[in-house]
Amino acid sequence: MEDKKRTEPQIKDQAPKNNRREFIKKAGVATAGAIAATAGLSAPYAYSASKPIKWRLQTYSGAALGAHVIKPQIEAFNRAAHGQMEIELYYADQLAPTGELFRAMQNGMIDAVQSDDATMASPVDISVFGGYFPFSTRYSLDLPVLFKFYGLDKIWQEAYDEVKGVEWLGAGAWDPLHIFTKEPIRSVADMKGKRVFGVPTAGKFLSRYGLIPVTLPADDIEIALQTGELDGVAWCGFTEAYEIGWADVCKYALLNNVTGAWCGSYFANSKSWAKVPPHLQELFKLSMDSSHYYRQVWYWGGEAKLRVSGNKLELTTIPAKEWDQVVKDSEAYWNELAAISPRAKKVVEIFKEYSRTMEKAGVPYRYS
């Protein structure tokens, strides 16, 4: 018993004296090292301020228009990403021709794209509804409502899920479609023979009245108008026509619009998207929403202001009786495109349902 009592204090004296602060410091270092080691082995995302994730994004728009429809968004995203990711912005045709954008993104030449489905030749059965689908909308707010509350988002997602290598990230509204020409259009007959630069689906519809759709690089349009290669454009609204410079070379603007809003989307290469960590994916989608809001305000205010106070274009109209027939003709066109596939038919049925709802709702959703 005595020997045992004598040895216990000696064992205690030999034990190290623990300092709480030292213990916390050492524990912190050990934990940080363990986390770093684990991250190095298993984390799917690797980025740093010295080596950020880099994307190349090309838009359908030229530089003048791009300064509004995407540049503010990309600059804001790059600031908010805080060195973890950088997006290099390219304008129409700089890396790939607009008609080849989808393939360029799919094969990884470009990481992301801002465009409508039809113009970039998306290989999906609903691509005809991208851009300007005749009389599918009256106002720019119609489009996001169709995607958010009427199911177009699910249909677009389903369609692009079937395409390997590409992610559809979301759609938004741009400006209404008007026709700007060097010679006036005051009747449907005046469309005949006029060569216009325009988006595919609306151009195909308008061709039944003799309008001739022409495809050219965006930067060549103004010169083509000056030289007489083109008689006009059916690509945008008043805001773009003034911003781009087409209002300087056209003389007339037709007030009867073919569609209330252009439908454009954001896309990404699947591998590029997978390399972006969740918080930056969310940040990019938030920046898309910010861009959608910017355009809603810019276009909505610009369209009204330039119709009233713009002094470069003389305004013309096609009489209501004639234009009502054009609207009526679009019903047959809708049914033609509905026959493409069951999914296309579903889109057309949504447009019809939405149109009926808005007409029944009346003012301010529809005035006539």
Q: pLDDT, tens digit, for every residue of 256-314?
A: 999 999 999 999 999 999 999 999 999 999 999 999 999 999 999 999 999 999 999 99
Give the pLDDT of residue 127.
97
Query: Which pLDDT band holds residue 368 (cuts at 50, 70, 90)?
Result: low
Q: Does 8 have pLDDT greater than 80? A: no
Hey, what amino acid is at 141?
Answer: L
Q: For residue 62, give the H/E element and its range.
A: none
The single-letter DSSP state of residue 134 is T
Pairing of strands 314-316, 166-173: unpaired
Banded model confidence at residue 17, pLDDT cuts 50, 70, 90: very low
pLDDT (mean) for 148-173: 98
CA 111, chain centre distance (Å): 14
pLDDT at 27 over 80: no
CATH of domain 177-261+316-361: 3.40.190.170
The pLDDT, as a whole number, for residue 367 is 80
Q: Give the Cα separation of 239 and 224 in Å (integer).
A: 20
Q: What pLDDT shows up at residue 45?
A: 52
The answer to whether the 53-174+263-300 and 177-261+316-361 domains have the same CATH topology is: yes
**Alpha-helical runs (H) found in the chain:** 2-14, 20-42, 63-69, 71-80, 101-106, 142-149, 152-161, 200-206, 221-227, 238-244, 246-249, 270-274, 278-309, 320-338, 342-361
Q: What is the pLDDT of residue 176?
A: 97
CB 272 within 8 A of CB 108: yes
The CA distance from 268 to 273, in Å, is 6
Task: Give the DSSP letter of residue 111.
Answer: S
Q: Which fold has domain 53-174+263-300?
A: D-Maltodextrin-Binding Protein; domain 2 (3.40.190)
How confident is the prediction for the chain on average, in pLDDT? 89
For the segment 33-59, the average pLDDT, to the nearest whole number, is 64
Cβ within 8 Å of residue 290, ≥6 positions away: 72, 73, 76
70 has pLDDT over 60: yes
The residue ranking higher by pLDDT, 100 or 368, is 100
What are the structural domain ranges in the chain? 53-174+263-300, 177-261+316-361
- Look at residue 219 and tell me whether its pLDDT is greater than 70: yes
First to last CA, the chain: 107
What torsion do the CA atoms of 43, 47, 49, 53 make, to the nearest 10 degrees?
-160
Q: What is the pLDDT of residue 49?
A: 59
Contact 110, 57 (CB under 8 A): yes
Residue carrying structure tokens 């997006």: 87
Residues in CB range of 97: below 8 A, 6 or more apart: 217
Mean pLDDT of 28-37: 44
pLDDT band at 48 (very low <50, low <70, confident <90, very high): low
pLDDT tier, 25 (very low <50, low <70, confident <90, very high otherwise): very low
pLDDT confidence band for 31 (50 / 70 / 90):
very low
Asked if the bond preceding 144 is cis, omega within 30° of 0, the reply is: no
